[in-house]
Structure 1
């Protein structure tokens, strides 16, 4: 475990180097989602296998989440992007990096690509979208509902019974974040990029959706918006693709890295090659 202080806030950072000790085939920065998420979602799914394939992996708990600092305010999207820019500049040298963003983490990744286009080799966005007026309105509704539901013991008891104690602990932690910070009001008030700005994101983008997710309907729009964007759908999945189908997401990530120049090795080399040969994006 390591901590990095940035602009007075302490961030919990984890870095996994290639397990064979050789120079990395690529660098991947993994960005987690909002409220119930943390870097642990990657630590127990994609990260170890990526390191075994020769990738240098950087993960961190976003502000207010996991073991990072939790200021009472300062949760507009642009603050999360500033954090990502600062940590990228501090911890990854000058070379290009691949971004993997889950849900809100993908929205941060698109913001980072706007701020540091020369540093971004590509974005793999898992159940995610760039910030827009529609995104802000949707997040406003989700966060307002979460504020009510995650402070209700009846709801939390239902989560425990249906989803288990671990998910209930995550829900309680999310409730505390909502109760002790301005995150629910800050996110919808974020500065939003214009559509013309989003069209300047020219790095390759792979958008991964659960086939049963509401977000899957945006695939055509995103492909038309971004110059180099392709979509793929994980059958039978909704929003929690990373957690519910980690092996599939891992295979797609390895294939995507390989497709964009990463000379993978070890067990990931074969997996990535197989998916490319099968034509998966």
Structure 2
């Protein structure tokens, strides 16, 4: 992975909720949104991989990272308004390239649907329009509540979390307190913010106007049927599958992820050069105009 760019955390406040974000680079603005229980820190390699050439911002979504830990509102609308506020702060009058993974991809999709004037292009990693089921939400809450925190030290945390790419991201983001290491999220907030994500959002997905790339990990959380249904529901959507990766493909196969992202952004900025830029092969089920 590329070296992490020099960044400093900044904050803004919307409706009483503090939002922390990092920004670096110059050029067209790209905004990155992490998934559930993640933070902007996991996108530092992506920020570096997009520079030079782009100004890249990564947001700690509410309830995550260094943003307000226990926000009063965890509705999808609140998350969308947070992103709108960040875009209007960083890129007034100029639409941005909006990128999200998992829950962050869902937020990005809804933002693009609600505010097409703010989104020049959209990239969704491991996303669908909402499964309509809440079974997994309770399981996620129980899993995060099972963490034996505080962890005594990094090795203690590693022993419990394991050595996956996602575990490494969680480990790097733990907060040091006098009694040990703690995650930068609360389990009940994670479960609560996921409940609205399960609501079907097919109308919003189909109303997205921006050029859109959807990426899936070869071993991600969605079935081939779910992937195909999502892609074909919105004609013109490009699909790329990342080999050897799961739900956190941006961490598990970074070279394939950053290549697909950079090439799509290049085409989104210069549509006339589509034939001159080598896009990743489109997977079966991709819908083109």
Off by >3 Å, runs of 4+ in structure 1: 151-158, 160-176, 189-194, 278-281
Give the aligned partner of residue 177 of structure 2.
none
Alignment of 1:1-281 (within 5 A): 1=8, 2-18=10-26, 24=27, 26-35=28-37, 37-43=38-44, 45-52=45-52, 54-134=53-133, 137=134, 139-151=136-148, 158-160=159-161, 162-163=163-164, 167-168=170-171, 173-174=182-183, 177-178=186-187, 181-189=188-196, 192=199, 194-215=201-222, 217=224, 218-262=226-270, 276-277=277-278, 279-280=280-281
- The answer as to whether partners of 1:17 and 1:51 remain within 8 angstroms in 2 is yes
Distance 1:132 1:89 in 2: 31
- The answer as to whether partners of 1:255 and 1:273 remain within 8 angstroms in 2 is no
What is the aligned residue count? 260
**Superimposed CA distance per residue, residues 18-74 of structure 1 (whole angstroms, 9 cap, x where no aligned partner):** 2xxxxx2x2211111111x1111111x11122121x112121111121111212532
For structure 1, list consecutive stretches of 5 or more residues without a partner in the other structure.
Answer: 19-23, 264-271
Q: TM-score, normalised by structure 2?
A: 0.77
Distance 1:165 1:58 in 2: 22
In structure 2, the CA distance between the partners of 1:147 and 1:175, relative to structure 1 (3 Å rule), is: farther
- The answer as to whether partners of 2:70 and 2:189 remain within 8 angstroms in 1 is no
Alpha-carbon distance, 1:186 to partner:
4.1
Distance 1:279 1:191 in 2: 30
For structure 2, list consecutive stretches of 5 or more residues without a partner in the other structure.
Answer: 1-7, 175-180, 283-289
Q: RMSD over aligned Cα, in angstroms?
A: 3.1
In structure 2, the CA distance between the partners of 1:152 and 1:96, relative to structure 1 (3 Å rule), is: closer
Bigger relative contact order, structure 1 or 2 (CA pairs below 8 A, ≥6 apart): 1
In structure 2, the CA distance between the partners of 1:145 and 1:254, relative to structure 1 (3 Å rule), is: same
In structure 2, the CA distance between the partners of 1:277 and 1:189, relative to structure 1 (3 Å rule), is: closer
**Superimposed CA distance per residue, residues 153-200 of structure 1 (whole angstroms, 9 cap, x where no aligned partner):** 99967435555776456587448511xx54413431469464233211
Distance 1:3 1:51 in 2: 22
1:206 partner SS: strand
In structure 2, the CA distance between the partners of 1:233 and 1:61, relative to structure 1 (3 Å rule), is: same
Distance 1:219 1:138 in 2: 20
Alpha-carbon distance, 1:238 to partner:
1.2
**Superimposed CA distance per residue, residues 110-134 of structure 1 (whole angstroms, 9 cap, x where no aligned partner):** 1101210122122111122233524
- The answer as to whether partners of 1:28 and 1:97 remain within 8 angstroms in 2 is yes
- The answer as to whether partners of 2:22 and 2:58 remain within 8 angstroms in 1 is yes
Alpha-carbon distance, 1:107 to partner:
0.5
